């Protein structure tokens, strides 16, 4: 089993001009924030403690709300089930945005 804990999402470059309203999904389900979206601007970070447990790989997606238009997919990362324990990062770089997810993993 794999435990991944999402610790911090850093925004290097937004998708929208003034601010992004983002959410993380893992396995197709919203995992952060619990409700709504998180508003973030460039060169800032959102701190969190989001545990995700899986028997296999974990696909993490970053989405940006664009109501009333369809939401923007900002990219995904794959955390392999056999990921070495420790601190890691993943990059989301689609739609001209750039975000880094900082996370830790433990195998049990």
Q: What is the CATH number of domain 2-107?
A: 2.60.40.150
Structural contact between residues 86 and 104, judged by C-beta atoms closer than 8 angstroms: yes
Q: Where are the beta strands (DSSP E) in 14-97?
A: 20-26, 29-32, 38-40, 44-54, 58-64, 72-79, 86-92
- Note the pLDDT tens digit of each residue in 13-33: 999 999 999 999 999 999 999
Neighbours of 34 (CB within 10 A): 8
pLDDT of residue 39: 97
How far apart, in whole angstroms, are the C-alpha atoms of residue 8 and residue 45? 7
Mean pLDDT of 95-105: 97
- Note the pLDDT tens digit of each residue in 39-95: 999 999 999 999 999 999 999 999 999 888 889 999 999 999 999 999 999 999 999
């Amino acid at each position: 089993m794999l435990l991944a804990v999402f610790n911090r999402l850093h925004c290097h470059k937004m998708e929208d001009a003034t601010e992004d309203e983002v959410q993380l999904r893992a396995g197709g389900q919203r995992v952060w924030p619990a409700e709504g979206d998180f508003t973030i601007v460039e060169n800032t970070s959102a701190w969190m403690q989001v545990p995700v447990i899986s028997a296999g790989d974990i696909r993490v997606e970053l989405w940006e709300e664009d109501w009333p238009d369809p939401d923007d997919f900002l990219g995904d990362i794959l955390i392999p089930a056999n990921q070495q324990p420790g601190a890691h990062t993943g990059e989301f770089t689609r739609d001209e945005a750039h975000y880094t997810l900082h996370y830790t993993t433990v195998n049990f």
